């Protein structure tokens, strides 16, 4: 009832899952991931116990293939299950039970596992694999996973139609404010074009939660500092004429607008500068 990709970033620091289905809120059921450990997708009459059990096995050093074998061997419902796993190293692993609804199957390689059931045909997972292998390994993992998901959707996807999609990515201290490992957890629960909508939400997620590229930051000095101070004052945010006062005014405005992850004292992110100019 679902198609998904489970992947590991090229540098091994991120793990994630992207999934789409003709199923309400698929992101609640299918994906699981743990920083430094791995990720998995459980689908087709999904056994949600696979999620904690699989991560526990990966945490203890079991390979992706060994984890798939262990989970399915102990499950009397294995003929109806589908599962994909990646661990901290090595190839991904996938499993499709004999009683999964056609078309059902998967593909794997170093750092990824792709699987789907009730698909229009094998072209869905084949397109996903091509998109994954053809994407730039330097891109954020969420973008690579979504590109593969979009390729599968464009190739036909779930033959019953479309309803929901999700992306989950973990990395050490990658969450909001560095206080968690959940770097991305974006879901579309009920939508006519969920994969497209998921892309829009990922754009917003990048805007609000991605930290700026240090190489692009601009010094808040001279005429630029004067411009920023004037624009903030026009919006009702004033501080004294010192650099500290300007930083404080920017911080207040950014906090109200939810851009706080992009604020760096004494500098300004070009993205934030553009938003301020448009405000």
Topology, domain 2-209: 3.60.20
Calculate the average pLDDT of the chain.
97
Q: ∠199-187-93 over CA atoms, to 5°?
A: 90
Residues of the chain with CATH 3.60.20.10: 2-209
Specify whether the CB–CB gap between 198 and 164 falls below 8 A: no
Question: Do the beta carbons of residue 137 and residue 152 sit within 8 Å?
Answer: no
Find out whether the peptide bond into 68 is cis, omega within 30 degrees of 0: no
In this prediction, residue 218 has a pLDDT band, given cuts at 50, 70 and 90, of very high
pLDDT tens by residue, 168-186: 999 999 999 999 999 999 9
pLDDT at 164: 98
Helix (H, G, I), strand (E, B) or coil at 227: helix
pLDDT bin (cut points 50, 70, 90) of residue 97 is very high
Q: In angstroms, rounded to a whole number, what is the distance separating the alpha carbons of residues 260 and 72?
A: 45
pLDDT exceeds 80 at position 1? no
pTM of the predicted protein model: 0.94
State the Cα–Cα distance between residues 51 and 131, nearest whole angstrom: 26
Q: How many CB atoms lie within 10 A of CB 23?
A: 22
Q: CA-based diameter of the chain, in Å? A: 71
């Amino acid at each position: 009832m679902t198609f998904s990709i489970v992947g590991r970033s090229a540098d091994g620091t991120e793990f994630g899952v992207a999934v789409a289905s003709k199923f309400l809120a698929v992101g609640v059921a299918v994906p699981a991931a743990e920083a430094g450990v791995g990720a998995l997708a459980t689908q087709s009459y999904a056994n949600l116990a696979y999620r904690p059990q699989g991560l526990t096995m990966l945490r203890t050093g079991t390979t992706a293939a060994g984890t798939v074998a262990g989970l399915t061997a102990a499950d009397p419902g294995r003929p109806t299950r589908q599962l994909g796993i990646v661990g901290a190293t090595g190839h991904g692993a996938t499993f499709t039970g004999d009683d999964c609804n056609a078309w059902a199957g998967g593909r794997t390689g170093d750092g990824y596992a792709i699987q789907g059931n009730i698909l229009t045909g094998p072209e869905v997972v084949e397109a996903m694999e091509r998109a994954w292998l053809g994407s730039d390994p330097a891109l954020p993992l969420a973008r690579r996973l979504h590109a593969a998901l979009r390729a599968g959707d464009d190739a036909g996807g779930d033959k019953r139609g479309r309803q929901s999609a999700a992306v989950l990515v973990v990395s050490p201290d990658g969450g909001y404010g560095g206080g968690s490992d959940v770097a991305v957890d974006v879901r579309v629960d009920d939508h006519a074009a969920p994969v497209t909508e998921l892309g829009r939400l990922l754009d917003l997620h990048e805007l609000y939660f991605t930290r700026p590229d240090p190489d692009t930051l601009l010094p808040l000095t001279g005429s630029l500092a004067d411009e920023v101070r004037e624009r903030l004052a026009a919006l009702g945010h004033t501080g004294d004429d010192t650099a500290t006062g300007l930083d404080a005014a920017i911080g207040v405005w950014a906090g109200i607008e939810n851009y706080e992850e992009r604020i760096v004292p004494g500098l300004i992110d070009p993205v934030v500068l553009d938003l301020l100019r448009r405000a």
